[in-house]
């Protein structure tokens, strides 16, 4: 059973990689590798177990909405969560993000989101510092080159 699951996961991974590549321009040079770091504020009640989706808005492309999740308990108070690598069409200059929380977890206080374009060694900082409610919310935040 476990072996079958692993094989399915592998297949899904290969498939999603192929699908991502399929959305990129014909030239592989147009594909960039991104990492996303989310810092949750270090104050009481700031953490959540809700599902979090990120959309990145660049001047040459959009990425997402992408579910941010890994094997760890993410988005806990005072914790840094880094996700990726995400291979995406070159987003160019990143001017903002949509950060979406569903209603499956408690309120959440993200402090900031950092996006790293590993292909070009470019850092983008998105200041947040805004409470999300118990319920679902989708909010836009400005980003700047860092």
* Interaction residues for Ca ion, span 6-45 (CB under 5 A): none
Q: Binding of Ca ion at residue 117 (CB under 5 A)?
A: no
Q: Which is nearer to Ca ion, 49 or 120 (CB)?
A: 49
Q: Which is nearer to Ca ion, 50 or 143 (CB)?
A: 50
* Interaction residues for Ca ion, span 86-115 (CB under 5 A): none
Query: By CB neighbour count within 10 A (0-12 exposed, 13-18 middle, 19+ buried), where does 4 fall?
Result: exposed
How many chain residues touch Ca ion (CB under 5 A)? 5
The tokens for 110 are: 């993200």
Q: Binding of Ca ion at residue 69 (CB under 5 A)?
A: yes
CA–CA dist 70, 99 (Å, integer): 17
Q: CB neighbours of 67 closer than 8 A, spacing ≥ 6? A: 51, 52, 53
CA–CA dist 39, 140 (Å, integer): 16
Q: Are 46 and 105 in contact (CB under 8 A)?
A: no
Q: Which is nearer to Ca ion, 67 or 93 (CB)?
A: 67
Q: Binding of Ca ion at residue 74 (CB under 5 A)?
A: yes
Q: Which is nearer to Ca ion, 99 or 143 (CB)?
A: 99
**Which of 30, 62, 73, 134 contacts Ca ion by CB under 5 A?**
73
Among the candidate windows 31-39, 67-75, 84-92, 95-103, which touches Ca ion by CB under 5 A? 67-75
Q: Are 117 and 89 in contact (CB under 8 A)?
A: no
Q: Which residues bind Ca ion (CB under 5 A)?
A: 49, 69, 73-75
């Amino acid at each position: 059973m476990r072996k079958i699951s692993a094989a399915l996961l592998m297949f899904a991974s290969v498939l999603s990689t192929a699908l991502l590549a399929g959305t990129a321009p014909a030239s592989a040079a147009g594909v960039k590798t991104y990492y996303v770091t989310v810092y949750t504020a270090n104050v009481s009640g700031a953490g959540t177990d809700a599902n979090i989706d990120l959309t990145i808005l660049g001047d040459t492309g959009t990425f997402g909405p992408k579910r941010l999740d890994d094997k760890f308990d993410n988005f806990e108070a005072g914790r840094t969560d880094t996700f990726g690598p995400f291979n995406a069409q070159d987003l160019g200059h990143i001017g903002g993000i949509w950060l979406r929380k569903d209603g499956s977890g408690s309120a959440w206080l993200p402090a900031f989101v950092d996006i790293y374009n590993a292909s070009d060694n470019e850092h983008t900082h998105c200041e947040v510092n805004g409470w999300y409610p118990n319920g679902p919310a989708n909010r836009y935040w400005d980003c700047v080159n860092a």
